[in-house]
A and B are shown apart, each in its own frame.
Chain A
């Protein structure tokens, strides 16, 4: 290609390449030999034969329950003749399969494959392994329900059904992960959720091509519109009451088998600042808490950066009374404020990460060591100034006020960018960095809705349940971002 052609190619848009859709391959009829071949060399693979009635049963030992096995397989087939087997297999729990892939998937899901003459049947004898329902450790509330989701999807959906007794609540089952074949369930309330959003979500999940999707927080990264954004675009929660409140608001929820958290959409940036706790308090207190969280957000992103900016470039902004203390405190420190702040922020992040990884008993030690090291020793050694310690500690505390751990982690990371910009250009750098974050946020969408709702596009009604927690009598309509066909709260139009 000559140089002109290259330049032309750089600027001029060519025709888009056509993508061809692969036809799904037709699978063969399930056969005993083929199924055995698939599972051979695996110690948990069990092949039972009943020669007197020509029945072969295949299942995976650790996935099935003893009671179920006894009831559905051993008892019916042990002394049965061929005619009796026919009657047994005509029961509704024995489902005929004609596809070998379906048969193998069934066995992998804890079913038993029953081979009788030329037909194959699947019967569910699974006994899921998992913990019982416990309190969520990442999202604790003071008042309100304490139960959290567990790793078993069946249990999670059961909990949801118990709380939301409506025939309109629908579950759609999908499968992701080329190797792991995890079950994903989309939950929504028919008539409240926007059907387009449901369909779009299903389409996106079906498009996922990856070998293993093991958690909701992982799944949402495959289906969001801005995979390179630092901000989470789907809300994930471990609390059933949170999911219920999202569903009745007209949102769509999703669960991944093996993950203790569900996700909901559409979500906006400000939704990450509300907690189910807000609704269990009086509305004025709920409002105060929300405002506190937004103040926390501002402190997290800007306090340390502002310190760096003021102590590097804008000393004139400090009132005389404070100036003496600050200069005295800074006098011993040999580093420029930017380096000092980055050092301390990194130390705090190290402490936080160590605290999260260690068992609770050892975690306490980290708290004490960290408190002494960064609290006293660093100042006495002339490593950092007292006021920076206050700034860094306040920012760290403020970041934990944000209820969503994922959002809080994102905000803590962008803080470093702000500190660096404040170190380069002072207040202007700080404002420019905030500007860049706003520009980025303005471009983010979730399921086709703006991430900055209800600020942009502006919606005053939605603000009542975003920036404040309005009294229940004032919250009369569902949020606009869910684009629900049923806008009025309190009514379920048939």
Chain B
């Protein structure tokens, strides 16, 4: 049965793409780059990214649901587009790989320090492969189950309530950021939202009933809400200086929880977020797959998927240490922010030109 994605699944899919391991470092990222009460700035950035999503909505409406490829190929030659597709495909493989690998490098800070990280990454890539060979509808279903498995962790923030002090939020706004340029700093925080732009690849898999953008917006706002809750908890739990110096404040926050039958829940909660990275990696691989499929439409099933996951695995060899991985990840995510804004604008321009031409043609007739 050719089933279409529903708004709820799109929402959970977007939530899972955006909500990955960045969450664990987010309070530090915000404190470092935005200064005191950075969470307000974070809300502002959430609104900016919502604006970006609206650009995609314009593309969807103007293009009447046509895919990005259909829109571009109507106006531009394949000789120009195919190299761009290929370049983007490689780029998405890189993001997929860096996002996936980053998780395991952080994971090795907590446990399995002596294990070969590439072995763990190989197992992860096998999971990505099995998810990628399924239709996007099934990926959405898996993302929904994974989302349910992560949502309950938000309840753990209630354990911090006893130690939460309003005074720690301070009365200053955006003071003492750790240096650097403002735009660069804020862009660094913005990377935590990256993922919503993949909605453009879902155009062929939805119909009007799916309410694609309702799903994307809800998913995005849900992410923002969850992260604001975490940020507020962290800002009131740790002092500002602590936040700036702790590498992964959420891990320390979880460390604080002690239950009668279990301690150190970060060992469990942290690994649950592997599903966030799994969906992120899979969806970036899916974006890459969409590009490659456009270039080679007549391929046997599962072959391209294998090559892409193989690519993800091989690129994984490139980042060996955590600092290196963080640096690479930041580089590709900055580029992705650019793409997220430029792509819909470009598409809107192409669509406007197409409309103009159509109008001129009809006048001539």
Q: Which residues on A are within 8 Å of B, measured CB to CB?
A: 10-13, 313-314, 316-319, 322, 425-428, 431-432, 435-436, 438-443, 445, 448-450, 452, 455-458
Pick the residue among B1, B131, B258 that contacts A439 (CB under 8 A): B131
- Please tell me if B48 contacts chain A, counting CB pairs below 8 Å: no
> What are the residues of chain A within 8 A of B263 when measuring CB–CB?
316-319
Instruction: Kindly provide the distance from the CB of A326 to the nearest chain B CB, expressed in whole angstroms.
Output: 12
Report the Cα distance A313→B271, complex, angstroms: 14
**New A-B pairs, 15, CB < 8 Å, besides A425-B115, A456-B141:** A12-B296, A13-B298, A319-B258, A426-B112, A428-B111, A431-B272, A432-B124, A432-B274, A442-B134, A442-B145, A445-B1, A455-B145, A456-B9, A457-B8, A458-B9
Which residues of B222-279 are within 8 A (CB) of A?
258-265, 267-268, 271-272, 274-275, 278
User: Are A313 and B111 closer than 8 Å at their CB atoms?
Assistant: yes
User: Are A314 and B264 closer than 8 Å at their CB atoms?
Assistant: yes
A-B contact count (CB 8 A): 114
A442-B111 in contact given A427-B268, A435-B278 (Cβ < 8 Å): no
- Please tell me if B146 contacts chain A, counting CB pairs below 8 Å: yes
12 interchain pairs, CB-CB under 8 A: A10-B300, A13-B300, A314-B267, A317-B265, A319-B260, A319-B261, A425-B112, A438-B145, A439-B130, A439-B131, A450-B3, A456-B145
> What are the residues of chain A within 8 A of B334 when measuring CB–CB?
none
Report the Cα distance A336→B134, complex, angstroms: 37
- Please tell me if B55 contacts chain A, counting CB pairs below 8 Å: no
Which residues of B143-158 are within 8 A (CB) of A?
144-146, 148
Residue of B with least CB distance to A314 = B267
Report the Cα distance A316→B258, complex, angstroms: 11
Instruction: Kindly provide the distance from the CB of B338 to the nearest chain A CB, expressed in whole angstroms.
Output: 32
User: Are B267 and A452 closer than 8 Å at their CB atoms?
Assistant: no
Instruction: Kindly provide the distance from the CB of A308 to the nearest chain B CB, expressed in whole angstroms.
Output: 14
- Please tell me if B299 contacts chain A, counting CB pairs below 8 Å: yes
> What are the residues of chain A within 8 A of B146 when measuring CB–CB?
435, 438
Pick the residue among B3, B9, B123, B144 that contacts A425 (CB under 8 A): B123
> What are the residues of chain A within 8 A of B267 when measuring CB–CB?
314, 316-317, 426-427
User: Are B300 and A439 closer than 8 Å at their CB atoms?
Assistant: no
Which residues of B291-312 are within 8 A (CB) of A?
296, 298-301, 303-304
- Please tell me if B328 contacts chain A, counting CB pairs below 8 Å: no
Number of interface residues of B (CB under 8 A): 47
By secondary structure, the A interface counts as helix
Report the Cα distance A449→B123, complex, angstroms: 30
Instruction: Kindly provide the distance from the CB of A56 to the nearest chain B CB, expressed in whole angstroms.
Output: 54
Instruction: Kindly provide the distance from the CB of A452 to the nearest chain B CB, expressed in whole angstroms.
Output: 6
Most buried by B among A12, A425, A435, A457: A435
Instruction: Kindly provide the distance from the CB of B207 to the nearest chain A CB, expressed in whole angstroms.
Output: 14
User: Are B298 and A457 closer than 8 Å at their CB atoms?
Assistant: no
> What are the residues of chain A within 8 A of B6 when measuring CB–CB?
457-458
Q: Mark B76-91, 1 if CB is under 8 A from A, else 0.
A: 0000000000000000
Instruction: Kindly provide the distance from the CB of A295 to the nearest chain B CB, expressed in whole angstroms.
Output: 14
- Please tell me if B346 contacts chain A, counting CB pairs below 8 Å: no
Report the Cα distance A335→B1, complex, angstroms: 50
Pick the residue among A317, A319, A456 that contacts B140 (CB under 8 A): A456
Report the Cα distance A316→B286, complex, angstroms: 38
User: Are B299 and A439 closer than 8 Å at their CB atoms?
Assistant: no
- Please tell me if B22 contacts chain A, counting CB pairs below 8 Å: no
> What are the residues of chain B within 8 A of A317 when measuring CB–CB?
262-265, 267-268
Residue of B with least CB distance to A451 = B141
User: Are B264 and A439 closer than 8 Å at their CB atoms?
Assistant: no
Instruction: Kindly provide the distance from the CB of A400 to the nearest chain B CB, expressed in whole angstroms.
Output: 24
User: Are B274 and A428 closer than 8 Å at their CB atoms?
Assistant: yes
> What are the residues of chain B within 8 A of A319 when measuring CB–CB?
258-263
Report the Cα distance A449→B138, complex, angstroms: 12
